[in-house]
Amino acid sequence: MLKLLRNIWLGVSLILLASGLLLLSDLDRRRGAKKSSKALPRLAVMQWASTDLLDQIVKGFIEGLRQQGFEHGRTADIRFLNASGDNSTGNVMARDLVGGSYDLVLTASTLALQAVAKANTPGRVIHVFGGVTDPYGAGVGITGPKPDQHPGHLVGVGTFQPVDRAIRIARKMNPKLRKIGVAWSPGESNSEACVLKARSTCKDLGIELIEANVGNTSEVPEAIRSILARGSEAVWVGGDTVAISAISAIVSSARALKVPVFTNDPNDTADKGVIFGVGASYHKVGVAVGEIAGKILNGTSPKSFGVENLVPEVLTVNETLVKEFEGWSIPEEIHAQAMASTNVTGTAAVPSSQVPARCWEIRIARYNDAQFSADTWRGIMDGFKKQGLQEGRDFNVRCLNAQGDITTMTSIMTAIRAERPDLVMTISTPALQAALRQIGDLPIVFACVADAVRAGAGKSDSDHLPNVTGITTLSPFASMAQLIRKSVPNVRAVGTLFSPGEVNAALNRQWFAEALEREGLKLVSVPVNNSAETAEATSVMLRSDIQIVCQIMDNTARPGFAQIAKRAKDACLPFFCFDSSGIREGATLGLGRDYYYSGAEASEVAVQVLRGAKPAQIPITNTRTEIIVVNQDLIRKYGIVLSPEYLKKAQIVKREE
């Protein structure tokens, strides 16, 4: 008996030993599987306004993150937000970011830092900042440069503009300079810090600093006229977000009176009409901030970093422009310093032979962050490249986003009109309508508009306002109605949401209802007044006697596609839409226009206008593109049978994971 027990124990021991060895040998594979199945880190990047300076910061963020192994769409999920200079929009964004389950948030500008820091006082999300003049004076709990002098969840880099150096360079370029004007916003702590430094330097040099306060970009032109009327011999633009956003208006007003403008942004000299800029390489600053964020994501504690001042200085001078102003010249010392910047930063002084003959100023106004809007914007930018235009050489562009708020869109149009760019491009019907109301005679090229005529652009596609043209994206209603009737079993009624306050939504609803009626089907439409109502409106729609949800294009409903798709799936109903990108958010089928390529088509029209064609002579045309996208697993789940005709046209077939 004892021998039997010993044999059993020996057998059990061998089994346990073998099992342990198998587990150990499989440990790396299981760890790898666990690691590979882990969701991508979710990041958010928020900038306060669309300025070259902040755009460079954000580009640097992305580069710094990439260097640490975090690349958007591959190893990280990054969301980009822009408050378009609006305080209310910025504060709403900040609250959403703090409660949005992000692993880390990056902000560009002092105002963005302050908005997110205020919403994030409990430290619910790690916050890394850049593009901030004076983080110690920003009122966010940072008291100094050491690691123990900032909140544990908040870290970043300060970049105090070389204000003293800018004013001293101006005096060297014009030894008789006695009065300098500045328009600045008292609501920005960064701007106040720069002005305080400017006052001190001007006092030392015997220069009078003539000041005017501004609250928003629409007030800048009047403020500049005020300081010029008081005898300003030069205008300085420091670290003020409002003034930077209106740099074109500042230069225009000053040059009309033969007064030069200089700034603390070295990117302004080549194309903004600025005689010189001395400041930081904000791209390099952004890279440093992105690297900090990447290291934190890789496990380094935010508490191990200090908040130091980083100013990789760059000086650029526009030699040709300086000659236009009496009493101004470029001393050899300044010229040598500007040329030396080439070796350090890749940014050189601008000799007369390199000044672009024509660098167009373009403004793009978006109504919201909907996927079709983002796709259109990408198509526009890629379209410019395909036509041989290079950003920074042939054109400068700023994209402003109202984040779905019509009041913000009104402010954006006011600012654009003050800047007088060469071209205004709008994405979506609300953006076009705002432009029609406010832009005046500036040329407008639109995209993402269902019916431009009913939006107010003219009497017909060929008889329209003389300064307006573009590409419409009328949805294929008849094709969708036929597809639904032929492929959805026992279908009688179709459900959709629509916004009564949107012209395009009301028209889309009407056209879709008429197309369905021709196929013997009924449209059940439920109103939704804002995006927050999407969930409840979807529930109301699903309680109706419908057999399928098919969402029309609607700026209010579009951000809620994921909610609509989930609730429709829970109700065992297929979800069709007129936006091919909806497939990423759970749609069963998307039949619509390809917004990326419609954006590229709009860029073709834009280039014609920039090169001298009159918008009045370019007919409004509907996009040439149409695309079908299907989720094959959901198609099978709902028993939907697509004819070979439709399957043949499908450009993307996506399976559920």
Contact indicator for 187, 382 with CB cutoff of 8 Å: no
Contact indicator for 210, 231 with CB cutoff of 8 Å: yes
Alpha helices in 519-643 (DSSP H): 534-542, 561-570, 595-610, 632-637
Q: What is the DSSP letter of 553?
A: P
Domain coordinates of the chain in residue numbers? 42-160+285-304, 163-280+313-347, 360-474+597-622, 477-593+625-654
Question: Strands across the sheet with 360-366, in order?
Answer: 395-401, 360-366, 423-427, 444-449, 468-472, 621-622
CATH topology of domain 477-593+625-654: Rossmann fold (3.40.50)
Contact indicator for 110, 190 with CB cutoff of 8 Å: yes
- How many CB atoms within 10 Å of residue 651? 11
Q: What is the DSSP letter of 606?
A: H
pLDDT at 582: 82
Q: Take residue 657 and report the two structure tokens written for it.
A: 């994971």
Q: How many whole angstroms separate alpha carbon 124 and alpha carbon 137? A: 23
- How many CB atoms within 10 Å of residue 584? 16
Q: How many whole angstroms separate alpha carbon 404 and alpha carbon 75? A: 29
- pLDDT tens digit sequence for 439-460: 999 999 999 998 899 899 999 9
Q: How far are the Cα atoms of 167, 346, 360, 562 from residue 319, in angstroms, in the given order? A: 18, 18, 20, 54
Q: What is the DSSP letter of 71?
A: -
Q: How many whole angstroms separate alpha carbon 159 and alpha carbon 287? A: 13
Q: Take residue 190 and report the two structure tokens written for it.
A: 């960064």
Nearest residue to 238 via CA among 268, 215, 208: 268
Domain 360-474+597-622 part of CATH 3.40.50.11540: no
Residues of the chain with pLDDT under 50: 1-5, 8-10, 12, 14-37, 342-357, 653-657
Spell 233-266 as b/e; 16+ CB within 10 A means b: bbbbbbbbbbbbbbbbbbbbbbbeeebbbbbbbb
pLDDT at 419: 85
3-state secondary structure of 364: strand
Q: How many whole angstroms separate alpha carbon 426 and alpha carbon 566? A: 31
3-state secondary structure of 195: helix
Contact indicator for 314, 281 with CB cutoff of 8 Å: yes
Q: Take residue 610 and report the two structure tokens written for it.
A: 């920039």
Between CA 253 and CA 256, with CA 255 as vertex, the angle to 5 degrees is 65
3-state secondary structure of 87: helix
User: Can 42-160+285-304 and 163-280+313-347 be said to share one CATH topology?
Assistant: yes
Note the pTM of the prediction, 2 decimals: 0.52
Contact indicator for 310, 151 with CB cutoff of 8 Å: no
Contact indicator for 212, 223 with CB cutoff of 8 Å: yes
CATH topology of domain 163-280+313-347: Rossmann fold (3.40.50)
Q: Tell me how far the alpha carbon of residue 540 is from its chain's centroid.
A: 33
Q: Take residue 6 and report the two structure tokens written for it.
A: 């010993």
Q: What is the DSSP letter of 325?
A: S
Q: How many whole angstroms separate alpha carbon 88 and alpha carbon 236? A: 28
Q: How far are the Cα atoms of 141, 152, 290, 423, 645 from residue 123, in angstroms, in the given order? A: 12, 8, 20, 43, 55
pLDDT at 581: 76
3-state secondary structure of 522: strand
Q: How many whole angstroms separate alpha carbon 630 and alpha carbon 635? A: 7
Q: What is the DSSP letter of 41?
A: P
Contact indicator for 595, 448 with CB cutoff of 8 Å: yes
Q: How far are the Cα atoms of 2, 3, 11, 587, 607 from residue 15, in angstroms, in the given order? A: 20, 19, 6, 50, 75
HSE toward the beta carbon, residue 289, CA cutoff 13 A: 37
CATH of 42-160+285-304, one of 3.40.50.10790, 3.40.50.2300, 3.30.360.10, 3.20.20.140: 3.40.50.2300
AA letter at 638:
Y
pLDDT at 348: 39
Proportion of the chain in helix, strand, coil states, percent, rounded to 5: 50, 20, 30
